[in-house]
C-alpha cells in the first residue's frame, strides 16, 4: 500500500524563522560526539614532539629512548614523511621539522603508544639536539640588512601595492591630514575544543576525523605529504567545537594519517590547550601607518595606508590576508585617491593564519580611529563625518574603483546605530560620569566582502536525492564549523521545494559524501552553500515539472518516476559571481590578483564605556551592533553570530594579546591569555538591517566576520570620549590607558 502525502500549499515559511539549530538537543544533553570524543577499538594515542627553541638548526634527533618506553608502537621523524611539506599558498612548512626549527611549538616528531601516558612519556624522551640561531622577533628588524634569514628567499614574503589617483597630490591639497601609526596584536582563537582527531588506515584507504574548514584542501595536503592519490583520503570534518579560522590549515590531519599508516591501527591525537596556544595559528599582528586627508567639511580626499604584517615562521595565509586587508583598507567609504602598500614578513613569532575578519579588523582599526581623530579636529559629529563619505550601491570602491553592488546597506547600518538610544542619549549619559568613573560613547562602521572575491572561480556544490518514499536528502558544503550551517541549508531547501523543514535531511562535513564546496570561511557558507542548495532544489523542481504531474506534487510518486528515469539524484554548482562592473579596474589584467568583491556586507556599532580615571580600568557597558545581512535566513542565528563577533571584537579591543619574549611564548594558557567571560560581557543589542542581496539565496549574504570589525574602533573612540586619550596600540588594556592618562597629565 502506498501512502500519499499531500502537502499544504503554503508551506514556504521556513526562511526567516528562528528555528533551533539542528543538533541542539544532542548538544544540551552531551550526546553529540565531537571528533575528539571518538574512540575506536584497538586505538593508539598520538603525541606531537615540539620544539622548545624559537629558531635553531637541528643537529640530531634520538628516538631510541622513546621507542624503549613500554607501549610505544611508533616514533616518526622527518625522514618518515614522503614529501615533507605543507602550506596552503606556498608549501614552505615542513610536516615535521628535520634540519631547522623556526618556532617554539613546531612539530619535530610523532609518537603513537598504547596509552596517553606512554605517549606523553615517550614524547618527553625524544631527544632533540638543537643549535640555537639568532631569533627574529620583530617584523621591522626582520627586514634590516644582516637580519638572520628564515627562508632562502629572504624574510620578505610578500609585497602588495595599489594606488588609485594621485595620493600625494590629494594629501597636499587637503585641509587636514591625520597621520598616525597603530598596532594590533596577535589574537588567539581559543576554540573551546582544543582540537584533535582520529585516523584509520585500512585497505589502502585513509579515514580521518579531524575538524577542518577546508576539508578539500586538507585532503590534498594529506595526499601530497604521504604521496598517495587524494581519492584514497576521506576527511570527516564535523562536528567541531569552534573554528573562527583556526581550522583552515595546520598539519594535524597529516600527522594523524602518518601515524595511522605507520601503525596500521586507529590513532587519536588530542591537543592540549597549551599546545594550541603555542603552535596554533593567530590573527596576524599589523603595524599600520595611515595618512588621511580631509576637507574642512569632512569630505575624505585621500587615504594612504602602509601595513607591515608579521606572518611568523611560515607563509600560511599571510599573502591572502594582506590582499583582503588592502581591499578593505578604505573601509565603507568613497575615496577619490587611495593607496595601499603592504608587506608580509617572516619572523620567529607565532604563526599568523586565518582569523574571523582576515586582515580587516586591523585595517579598520587604523582607518576608523583616524576618522575619529579627524572628527575631533574638525569639530564634526563622528556619525555625520562617516555619513558624508559612506559608500552606497553604484559608488566606486575606495581603492580599486569597481562598482559597489546593489545589496550594500552600510549607510542604513550606520543610521540604525546612530538612531539607537545609546548614541542619541550619549551626552546626558556622559554627564552622569562620577569623579572616578568617566563615561564615553564611541561609534564605528565596517564593511567586508562576502566570499574570496572575483576572478577565483570559487564555487560551492550540493547533491540532492529524492527518495522513492518522497524523502529529501541533501549533501552540501561548506560544513558546520560551530554554527550548524545545515540548519540554514534545510530552511532554504524547505522553502524552495515547498516541503516541511523537518522533512529535509542535510549531511555536511564528509569529503566522500559531500561534493567539493570550498572553505567554510570568508562569510561564504550561507551565501555560497545556501545558493548551491537552492540551485539543486530548483533543478529537482524542474525535473518534476517535466513529469507533468498535477500542481500538487505527489513526492513519493515523483521520487519513483524520477528514480526509474535515473533522474532522482541532482547535483548543483554555484559559482560565486564576479564584480559586475569593473569601473576604474577596467582594462586591468590584475583583477584575479586583486580579487575585488561584488558583494559586501556592512556593520556598525555604538559602544558605551566607563573608564576609571585613576586606575585606567575599562568596563564596556553596552554595545549595539547593526548588521547589513540581506535576508536573515535564521534571525536567531544571525543575532548569535553578531553577539559572538562583538565579544571577540571586545577581546581584541581590550584584553587579548598573544605575547612572546624573544620568540618564546608568554601567554600559553587561559590564565595568562584572557578572553571575555560572562563578567565582561556588556549589554548587547543587535539590529538586523534587512535588505536583498540579489545574488544570495532568498536575498541573504554572509555576516559572520564583519560583526567583529567595528568593536575595537568603537571601544577606543568611547575611551577617547571618556578620558581624552588616543589609544594607538591594541588591546586597550587598563595599563596602557593608565599610562596614556598619566602622560597626558604631565
Nearest-CA neighbor of 55 among 109, 101, 93?
A: 101
What φ, ψ does residue 647 adopt, rounded to 5°?
-70, -35
Out of 2, 4, 12, 24, name the contact with other proteins by CB under 8 A: 24
Least Å distance, CB 643 to other proteins, is: 3
Q: Is 675 in the site for other proteins (CB under 8 A)?
A: yes
Number of residues that bind other proteins (CB under 8 A): 55
What φ, ψ does residue 507 adopt, rounded to 5°?
-120, 130
Out of 166, 272, 433, 692, name the contact with other proteins by CB under 8 A: 272
Out of 3, 10, 29, 42, name the contact with other proteins by CB under 8 A: 29
Out of 562, 570, 646, 741, name the contact with other proteins by CB under 8 A: 646
Q: Is 670 in the site for other proteins (CB under 8 A)?
A: yes
Q: Is 34 in the site for other proteins (CB under 8 A)?
A: yes
Pairing outcome for strands 56-62 and 100-101? antiparallel
Least Å distance, CB 184 to other proteins, is: 19
Helix (H/G/I), strand (E/B), else coil: 123: helix
Q: Is 637 in the site for other proteins (CB under 8 A)?
A: yes
Q: Is 484 in the site for other proteins (CB under 8 A)?
A: yes
Out of 3, 42, 379, 678, name the contact with other proteins by CB under 8 A: 678
**Partners of 300 in the beta sheet?**
294
Q: Is 671 in the site for other proteins (CB under 8 A)?
A: yes
Out of 37, 503, 538, 539, name the contact with other proteins by CB under 8 A: 37
Output the CA–CA distances (angstroms, integers) from residue 31 to 24, 26, 231, 460, in the order listed.
10, 5, 32, 30
Residue number, 25 or 57, with CB nearest to other proteins? 25
Out of 2, 4, 12, 25, name the contact with other proteins by CB under 8 A: 25
The contacts of residue 51 (CB under 8 Å, 6+ apart) are: 97, 101, 103, 104, 105, 106, 108, 128, 130
If DSSP states are collapsed to H, E and C, what string results for 36-70?
Answer: HHCCCCCCEEEEEEECCCCCEEEEEEECHHHHCCC
Q: Is 724 in the site for other proteins (CB under 8 A)?
A: no
Q: Is 215 in the site for other proteins (CB under 8 A)?
A: no
Out of 217, 330, 483, 525, name the contact with other proteins by CB under 8 A: 483
Residue number, 163 or 617, with CB nearest to other proteins? 617
Q: Are 150 and 56 in contact (CB under 8 A)?
A: no
Q: Is 648 in the site for other proteins (CB under 8 A)?
A: yes
If DSSP states are collapsed to H, E and C, what string results for 202-262?
Answer: ECCEEEEEECCCCHHHHHHHHHHHHCCCHHHEEEECCCCCCCCCCCCCCCHHHHHHHHHHH
Least Å distance, CB 500 to other proteins, is: 19
Q: Is 705 in the site for other proteins (CB under 8 A)?
A: no
**Partners of 292 in the beta sheet?**
178, 303
Calpha distance 407→699 (Å, rounded): 9
Candidate ranges 99-107, 190-198, 294-302, 436-444; the one touching other proteins (CB under 8 A): 190-198
Helix, strand and coil in the chain, % to nearest 5: 30, 25, 45
Residue number, 382 or 637, with CB nearest to other proteins? 637
Out of 85, 232, 459, 636, name the contact with other proteins by CB under 8 A: 636
Q: Is 677 in the site for other proteins (CB under 8 A)?
A: yes
- Letters for 111-130 (x = contact with other proteins by CB under 8 A, - = none) are --------------------
Q: Is 144 in the site for other proteins (CB under 8 A)?
A: no
Least Å distance, CB 607 to other proteins, is: 14
Q: Which residue, chain included where needed, has cell 536573515?
A: 632
Q: Is 594 in the site for other proteins (CB under 8 A)?
A: no
Residue number, 13 or 683, with CB nearest to other proteins? 683
Nearest-CA neighbor of 348 among 107, 103, 639?
A: 103
Is 432 exposed, middle or buried (CB count within 10 Å of its CB: 0-12, 13-18, 19+)? exposed
Least Å distance, CB 681 to other proteins, is: 4
Calpha distance 267→657 (Å, rounded): 34
Least Å distance, CB 720 to other proteins, is: 24
- Tell me the Ramachandran region of residue 616: left when phi exceeds 0, alpha when psi lies from -120 to 50, beta otherwise: left
Least Å distance, CB 192 to other proteins, is: 4
**Partners of 567 in the beta sheet?**
none
Q: Is 42 in the site for other proteins (CB under 8 A)?
A: no
Which DSSP helix (H) or strand (E) runs through 646?
helix 635-654
Out of 2, 18, 419, 425, name the contact with other proteins by CB under 8 A: 18
Q: Which residues bind other proteins (CB under 8 A)?
A: 18, 20-21, 23-25, 27-34, 37, 39, 189-194, 239-244, 270, 272-273, 481-484, 636-637, 639-641, 643-648, 669-671, 675, 677-679, 681, 684
Amino acid at each position: 500500500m502506498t501512502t500519499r502525502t499531500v502537502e499544504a500549499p503554503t508551506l514556504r515559511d521556513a526562511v526567516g524563522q528562528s528555528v533551533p539549530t539542528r543538533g541542539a538537543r544532542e548538544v544540551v544533553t552531551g550526546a553529540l560526539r565531537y571528533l575528539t570524543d571518538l574512540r575506536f577499538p584497538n586505538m593508539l594515542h598520538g603525541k606531537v614532539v615540539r620544539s622548545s627553541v624559537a629558531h635553531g638548526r637541528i643537529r640530531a634527533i634520538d628516538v631510541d629512548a622513546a621507542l624503549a618506553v613500554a607501549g610505544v608502537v611508533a616514533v616518526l621523524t622527518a625522514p618518515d614523511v614522503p614529501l615533507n611539506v605543507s602550506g596552503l599558498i606556498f608549501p614552505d612548512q615542513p610536516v615535521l621539522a628535520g634540519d631547522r626549527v623556526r618556532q617554539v611549538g613546531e612539530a619535530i616528531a610523532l609518537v603513537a603508544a598504547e596509552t596517553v601516558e606512554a605517549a606523553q612519556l615517550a614524547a618527553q624522551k625524544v631527544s632533540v639536539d638543537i643549535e640555537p640561531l639568532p631569533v627574529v622577533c620583530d617584523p621591522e628588524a626582520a627586514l634590516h640588512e644582516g637580519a638572520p634569514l628564515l627562508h632562502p628567499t629572504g624574510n620578505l614574503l610578500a609585497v602588495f601595492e595599489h594606488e588609485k589617483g594621485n595620493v600625494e597630490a590629494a594629501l597636499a591639497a587637503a585641509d587636514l591630514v591625520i597621520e598616525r601609526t597603530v598596532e594590533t596584536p596577535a589574537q588567539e582563537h581559543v576554540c573551546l575544543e582544543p582540537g584533535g582527531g582520529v585516523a584509520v588506515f585500512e585497505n589502502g584507504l585513509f579515514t580521518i576525523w579531524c575538524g577542518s574548514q577546508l576539508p578539500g584542501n586538507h585532503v590534498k595536503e594529506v595526499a601530497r605529504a604521504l604521496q598517495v592519490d587524494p581519492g584514497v583520503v576521506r576527511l570527516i570534518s564535523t562536528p567541531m567545537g569552534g573554528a573562527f579560522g583556526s581550522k583552515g590549515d595546520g598539519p594535524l590531519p597529516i600527522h594523524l594519517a602518518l601515524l595511522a599508516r605507520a601503525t596500521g591501527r586507529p590513532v587519536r591525537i588530542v591537543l592540549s590547550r597549551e599546545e594550541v596556544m603555542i603552535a596554533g595559528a593567530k590573527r596576524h599582528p599589523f603595524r599600520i601607518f595611515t595618512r588621511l586627508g580631509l576637507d574642512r567639511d569632512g569630505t575624505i580626499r585621500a587615504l594612504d595606508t602602509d601595513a607591515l604584517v608579521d606572518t611568523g615562521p611560515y607563509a600560511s595565509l599571510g599573502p591572502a590576508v594582506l590582499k583582503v586587508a588592502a581591499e578593505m583598507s578604505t573601509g565603507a567609504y568613497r575615496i577619490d585617491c587611495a593607496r595601499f602598500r603592504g608587506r608580509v614578513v617572516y619572523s620567529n613569532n607565532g604563526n599568523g593564519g586565518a582569523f574571523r575578519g582576515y586582515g580587516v579588523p586591523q585595517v579598520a582599526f587604523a582607518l576608523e580611529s583616524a576618522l575619529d581623530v579627524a572628527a575631533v579636529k574638525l569639530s564634526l559629529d563622528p556619525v555625520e563625518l562617516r555619513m558624508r563619505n559612506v559608500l552606497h550601491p553604484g559608488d566606486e570602491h575606495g581603492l580599486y574603483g569597481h562598482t559597489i553592488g546593489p545589496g550594500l546597506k552600510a549607510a542604513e547600518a550606520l543610521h540604525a546605530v546612530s538612531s539607537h538610544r545609546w548614541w542619541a542619549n550619549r551626552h546626558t549619559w556622559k554627564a552622569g560620569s562620577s569623579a572616578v568613573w568617566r563615561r564615553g560613547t564611541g561609534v564605528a562602521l565596517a564593511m567586508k566582502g562576502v566570499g574570496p572575491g572575483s576572478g577565483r572561480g570559487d564555487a560551492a556544490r550540493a547533491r540532492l536525492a529524492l527518495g522513492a518514499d518522497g524523502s529529501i536528502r541533501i549533501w552540501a558544503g561548506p560544513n558546520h564549523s560551530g554554527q550548524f550551517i545545515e540548519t540554514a541549508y534545510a530552511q532554504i531547501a524547505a522553502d524552495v521545494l515547498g516541503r516541511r523543514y523537518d522533512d529535509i535531511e542535510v549531511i555536511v562535513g564528509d569529503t566522500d559524501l559531500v561534493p567539493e564546496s570550498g572553505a567554510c570561511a570568508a562569510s561564504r557558507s550561507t551565501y555560497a552553500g545556501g545558493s548551491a542548495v537552492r540551485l539543486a532544489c530548483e533543478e529537482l523542481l524542474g525535473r518534476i515539472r517535466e513529469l507533468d504531474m498535477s500542481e500538487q506534487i505527489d513526492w513519493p510518486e515523483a521520487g519513483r518516476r524520477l528514480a526509474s528515469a535515473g533522474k532522482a539524484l541532482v547535483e548543483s554548482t554555484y559559482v560565486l559571481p564576479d564584480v559586475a562592473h569593473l569601473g576604474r579596474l577596467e582594462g586591468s589584467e590584475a583583477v584575479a590578483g586583486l580579487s575585488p568583491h561584488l558583494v559586501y556586507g556592512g556593520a556598525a556599532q555604538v559602544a558605551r564605556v566607563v573608564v576609571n580615571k585613576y586606575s585606567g580600568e575599562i568596563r564596556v557597558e553596552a554595545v549595539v551592533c547593526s548588521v547589513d545581512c540581506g535576508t536573515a535566513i535564521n534571525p536567531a542565528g544571525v543575532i548569535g553570530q553578531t553577539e559572538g563577533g562583538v565579544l571577540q571584537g571586545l577581546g581584541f579591543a581590550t584584553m587579548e594579546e598573544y605575547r612572546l619574549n624573544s620568540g618564546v611564548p608568554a601567554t600559553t594558557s587561559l590564565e595568562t591569555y584572557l578572553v571575555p567571560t560572562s563578567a565582561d560581557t556588556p549589554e548587547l543589542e543587535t539590529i538586523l538591517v534587512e535588505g536583498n542581496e540579489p545574488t544570495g539565496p532568498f536575498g541573504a549574504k554572509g555576516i559572520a566576520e564583519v560583526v567583529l570589525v567595528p568593536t575595537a574602533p568603537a571601544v577606543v573612540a568611547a575611551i577617547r570620549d571618556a578620558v581624552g586619550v588616543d589609544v594607538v596600540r591594541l588591546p586597550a588594556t587598563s595599563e596602557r590607558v593608565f599610562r596614556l592618562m598619566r602622560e597626558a597629565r604631565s
